[in-house]
Amino acid sequence: MKFSAITLLSAAGLTLVVGCSNSHDTSNSNKEPTVHSTPRVETKSSFVSRPLDKFAPTNAQDGRLKQAEASITNGCLRKLGYSQHPLSEKPTPDQSSNIYEFYWFPDAARTGYSTPPQVPQGTSWDESVPRIQQGLLDGKTRSYKGNPVPKDGCYGEAGRRLTKNATPPEKFSEGGITISRVADASPRGLIESYISVIRQKLSFDIKQDSRVKKLMSQWSQCMSAEGYNYPSPAGAAGDNRWGNNGSKHPSKDEISAATTDMACKKKLHYLDVVIAVESAYETRYIEQHPGRVQEFTQLRTAWDKNAQRLTR
C-alpha cells in the first residue's frame, strides 16, 4: 500500500461524515510560536506523543470503552434473540502509528515506501457481519423475532449508555473542517478524531512556518545532491512510480529513494525539528482554547466511569 500524503482521521469502529470548506482562520498565523527545546525522537517507534495527545483516552481507558461497548452490544443482540457472531469482549492494545511520514525509518532498505501491513479486506469483524445482524446493529431493522430493535440499533444503544450524562457534540468544527457524528457511531475514537481535525487545521500554519520551510529546503538539497528532485518528503513518498512496477515488492529505484530520504532526514534531525515545531503550535492551541481541551478531558473521564460501571 503506497503512502497517502494526507491522513485526516483515524478512528477505529467509528462512522463519521466529513465535510471541508475552503475557509481557513489565519488570525493566529501571523506569529510563529517559540520552540523551547528540540527533543530527540526515537525513530524505532511509530508513535510520538505530542501535547494534544494528553487529552485523548489512554490505552487503558480505550480498552475499557472497547470492552464495555462489546458487552452492551452483545447483550442487546441476545435480548433481541440473536446470539451469532458476537463482538470480542477481550480488548487488545491498539496504538496506531501517528507519524505517517516517518515510519519507514526501520525498514526503508527492505520495504521502500510501503506502509505497514493492513488488515486484509474482508477479514475485519465489521466486514464479516451477516446482513441480518448489520440491520440489528445500525437499527435499519426495526424488529426481530417480535422484539423491537432499539433506536439506532444496538450500536446506538451502546453509544447512549457509554456517553450517559456526557453527550459528545453532534458536530465538531475547526478551521473550516467539520465532522458530524452519525446516530449509531461509537464514542470510541471520537476525541482522537477531534484532535485529528485540530491537527489538520494547524498543519496549514505549520507548513508555512519559516523553520519548517527551511528544513524542507535543506532536505530537498540533500536529496538533490544524490540525484533526486523532490520539493518535500511527501512528494518522494507519493511518487507515482512506486507500486506500479507490477510486483508486490518495491523496485530498486524505490528502495534507493527511500533509503536516501531516511539518510537525509537523519542527517538534518528532520523528525526532531518537525515534532518540536508541531508541539509548539499544539501548545499554543491548548493555551488559546482551554475550554475546548478541558471538554475533551471531561468527556473522557465521564465515559471511562460509565465503562467501568457497565463492565463490573
pLDDT value, residue 164: 94
pLDDT of residue 223 exceeding 80, the answer is yes
> What's the pTM?
0.84
Contacts of 196 (CB under 8 A, 6+ apart): 8, 9, 10, 11
Q: Return the higher-pLDDT residue of 48 and 130.
A: 130
Q: Are 44 and 107 in contact (CB under 8 A)?
A: no
9: confidence class by pLDDT, cuts 50, 70, 90: very low
CB atoms within 10 A of CB 259: 16
Q: Which tens digits make up the pLDDT trace of 204-217? A: 999 999 999 999 99
Task: Retrieve residue 171's grid coordinates.
Answer: 458536530
Whether residue 44 has pLDDT greater than 70: no
Assigned C-alpha cell, 158: 451502546
Residues 162, 300: Cα–Cα separation, whole Å: 11
Average pLDDT value over all residues in the chain: 84
Statement: residue 22 has pLDDT above 80: no
> Over the stretch 228-251, which tens digit does the pLDDT of each residue have?
999 999 899 999 998 766 677 889
Sheet harboring 177-181: ordered strands across? 16-20, 177-181, 171-174
Q: Provide the total of helices (H) and of strands (E) in the chain, helices listed first.
A: 10, 5
Residue predicted with more confidence, 27 or 127:
127
SS3 51: helix
| Residue 96, all three cell numbers | 496506531
Quick one: which of 65, 246, 72 has its CA closest to 166? Answer: 65
The confidence score (pLDDT) of residue 264 equals 95
Query: What angle do the packed helices 290-310 and 190-208 form, to 10 degrees?
Result: 150
Average pLDDT on 147-175 reads: 93
Residue 2 has a pLDDT of 43
| C-alpha distance from residue 130 to each of 84, 97, 136 (Å) | 9, 30, 10
* Mean pLDDT to the nearest integer, 100-126: 67
